């Protein structure tokens, strides 16, 4: 019985540790052809899903993102530096949010989707405050 309890406790702890270190995988679309094994220094992608990078910055589906690329172990790391919003305004991204390329090395064509993994981006854990009518009086 004691061994069963210890096994259950270890299982629960491992699950909680995995949830706290959760990465966010996001599908994006390439806006130009590139080779994943030898990527360019700058890459342009379009977001295929809403992605919160931190409390103040959310990249919405359809935003076009420009990022620096750093080669690593047969793949690359994408670091967003700016994005174009729905009003066609180009806005800089102040902090670094590195994302690792996830997929097969090889040629990625324009308009082809692929995945980026933001390792330091877990689920949204904060809550928004929505004022009520009583707050306005």
Contact 39, 56 (CB under 8 A): no
The Cα-based distances of 64 to 7, 26, 29, 128 in angstroms read: 47, 14, 9, 26
Note if the pTM is more than 0.75. no
Domain ranges of the chain: 40-121
Q: In DSSP terms, which residues pair with 69 in a beta bridge? A: 78
The residue ranking higher by pLDDT, 69 or 6, is 69
Q: Write out pLDDT tens, residues 75-124.
A: 899 999 999 998 999 999 999 999 999 888 889 999 999 999 988 655 55
């Amino acid at each position: 019985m004691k061994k069963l309890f210890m096994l259950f406790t270890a299982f629960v702890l491992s699950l909680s540790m995995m949830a706290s270190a959760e990465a966010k995988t996001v599908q994006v679309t390439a806006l130009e052809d590139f080779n994943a094994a030898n990527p360019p220094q700058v890459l342009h992608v379009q977001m295929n899903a809403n992605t919160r990078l931190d409390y103040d910055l959310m990249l919405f589906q359809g935003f076009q993102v420009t990022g620096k690329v750093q080669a690593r172990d047969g793949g690359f790391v994408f670091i967003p530096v700016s994005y174009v919003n729905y009003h066609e305004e180009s806005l800089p991204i102040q902090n670094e949010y590195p994302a690792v390329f996830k997929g097969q090395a090889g040629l990625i064509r324009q308009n082809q989707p692929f995945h980026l993994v933001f390792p330091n981006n877990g689920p949204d854990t904060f809550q928004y405050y929505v004022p009520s009518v009583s707050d306005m009086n």
